[in-house]
Structure 1
Amino acid sequence: MKTLLVSIGLLAATALSAFAAEPVKMVDTKMGKIMTTDKGMTLYMFDKDTKGKSNCDAACLKKWPAFHAAATAKAEGEWSLVKAADGKEMWAYSGKPLYTYSGDKKAGDMSGDGVGGVWHVAK
């Protein structure tokens, strides 16, 4: 019986570790819940992107760095991976690529919201 319980425990632990964690944190702000990196930097979406494609070119990425995914990242559910102009994989939510903003200097800054009328905090 003890062996059976240990086996069930190991199986459960293995199954739970197979599920990927969401790549972002949801943070309560004055604008409601928003997406941030694990370090609390605000994430943004670009109106000129199309589903599954980043339209932020190399010059754009200098101001709006792509929210790059780890080499081992796997798409799951609403989370997908798209190529950034730098050739690296970046996270997308519901097909929309995610970016940080170079003007945000510390966790919680949201100075990129509304820039050019085409950049918006990811919610």
Structure 2
Amino acid sequence: MKTMHIGTTLMALLLAGPALASDGSPLRMANGVLVDAKGMTVYTYDKDASAAGKSACVEMCARNWPPVPAGDMRMEAPYSTITRDDGSKQLAHEGKPLYTFIKDKKEGDRTGDGVGGVWHVVTDAKKK
């Protein structure tokens, strides 16, 4: 029984490993931009005030620009979490909430960069 429990724990760790970057974040750099655990490009929104702890992208906006979920993971700078109006946790980078874009269909897509002049890919996610 003990062997099965250890094996199950080991398997869970192996499966979770690729979802986390080497710094413990569920985000990583790929081809010069920040991506989520699925490899999808991550964006910031100019209407979000840095370090305000709040997202300006709600309702229809959030359907088109899904927030990057934070779950219960404790983040280290430059990453943090904000609490959305619905109580869910969203990842932030340098205080700016992070989003993906519904029109990005595969890894490497950056179709949201520059949309409306207010959406931007995160290109410098190095720890400071």
Whether TM-score is above 0.5 comes out as: yes
For residues 49 and 34 of structure 2, the distance between their equivalents in structure 1, rounded to whole angstroms, comes to 19
Matched position secondary structure for 2:61: helix
For the 8 Å contact 1:46–1:119, the answer to whether it is kept is yes
Counterpart CA distance in 1 for 2:114 and 2:83 is: 24
Matched, 1:26 2:25: no
Aligned partners of 1:85, 1:36: CA distance in 2, in Å?
24
| Aligned position for 2:6 | none
Q: Which residues in structure 2 correspond to 1:82-93 (within 5 Å)?
A: 82-93=82-93
In 1, distance between residues paired with 2:58 and 2:86? 8
Identity over aligned pairs, percent: 44
Deviations 1:10-55 (A, max 9, x none): xxxxxxxxx9602211011xxxx11001111000000000123211
**SS of 2:63 mapped into structure 1:** helix
Larger Rg: 1
For residue 85 of structure 1, report the CA deviation from its aligned partner.
3.9
Mapping 1:9-24, distance limit 5 Å: 21-24=24-27
1:72-121 per-position Cα deviation (integer Å, ceiling 9, x unaligned): 31031211100234321010010000000000011111000000000001
Aligned to 2:97: 97
Runs of 4+ in 1 over 3 A off after TM superposition: none
- Residues of 2 paired with 1:80 and 1:39: CA distance? 19
The answer for the alignment partner of 1:8 in structure 2 is: none
The unaligned stretches of length 5 or more in structure 2 are 1-21, 124-128
How many residue pairs are counted as aligned between the two chains?
A: 100
Kindly indicate which of the two structures has a greater share of residues assigned to strand. Answer: 1
Q: Residues 66 and 84 of structure 1 are in contact (CA less than 8 Å); yes or no, is this contact kept in structure 2? A: no
Partner of 2:14: none
**Unaligned 5+ residue runs, structure 1?**
1-18
Q: Distance in 1 between matches of 2:117 and 2:26?
A: 26
Q: TM-score, normalised by structure 1?
A: 0.75
Q: Supply the distance in 1 between the matched residues of 2:90 and 2:49 (Cα, whole angstroms).
A: 14
Secondary structure at the residue paired with 1:60?
helix
Partner of 1:57: 58
**1:73 corresponds to which residue?**
73
* Bigger mean CA offset, 53-62 vs 91-100: 53-62
* Cα contact 1:58–1:85 (8 A) shared by 2: no
